[in-house]
Chains A and B, each alone.
Chain A
């Protein structure tokens, strides 16, 4: 009897751990794909909305300033980092390509600023993913 109860308890603990892991992964992936969505999923709606507006605005300013999208094949470590950094923004990067933004014009006067805006939007979104991870883990409210 005690053995059965112990096994049932272990199963319940296992299910809870799996559910917690799924929630954690789901929130982190949501946070990466759409800035602020991870916070929204975890019930921090205002925080999620503000983060969404700020990060998406930064990304859109980067596009408006003709920021550059880097490629992986350049052989430059910095450009590879830039490529990864911009992909940190998640779906906005994909949407930009989908709507035919191919990487801006490097001779445009604000292109360098635009690139900084795009990479920063990605990096800020990565920070929000870490924040979501901490909230889902219960380390932060």
Chain B
């Protein structure tokens, strides 16, 4: 299965966020919120760093 950067990033971020959410918080609601935040942080950081590196020669 050959995947490009972005789908690999999304899959990786999603699965890791789920595990972090389940392990880090105590209630289902807190877990969901935390997992969503971690997922957004993964994607956001990767996109920002990707654009920053775009300008590096």
Query: Does B52 make an interface contact (CB < 8 A)?
Result: no
By the criterion CB–CB under 8 Å, are B23 and A108 in contact? no
Contact of A58 among B1, B2, B3, B15 (CB under 8 A): B15
Instruction: Write out the residue numbers on chain A whose beta carbons fall within 8 Å of the beta carbon of B45.
Output: none
By the criterion CB–CB under 8 Å, are A120 and B2 in contact? no
By the criterion CB–CB under 8 Å, are A109 and B2 in contact? yes
| Residues of A in contact with B, size category | 20 to 34
Q: How many A-B residue pairs have CB under 8 A?
A: 46
CA of A139 to CA of B4, assembled, Å: 42
**Stretch from A7-15, A47-55, A75-83, A86-94 at the B interface:** A47-55
Nearest Cβ in chain A — how far from B7, in angstroms? 10
CA of A61 to CA of B11, assembled, Å: 9
Instruction: Write out the residue numbers on chain A whose beta carbons fall within 8 Å of the beta carbon of B36.
Output: none
By the criterion CB–CB under 8 Å, are A51 and B3 in contact? no
Instruction: Mark B residues whose CB is within 8 Å of A.
Output: 1-3, 8, 11-12, 15-16, 18-19, 22-23, 26
Among all A-B residue pairs, the 5 with the closest Cβ atoms: A64-B1, A54-B18, A113-B8, A58-B15, A124-B19
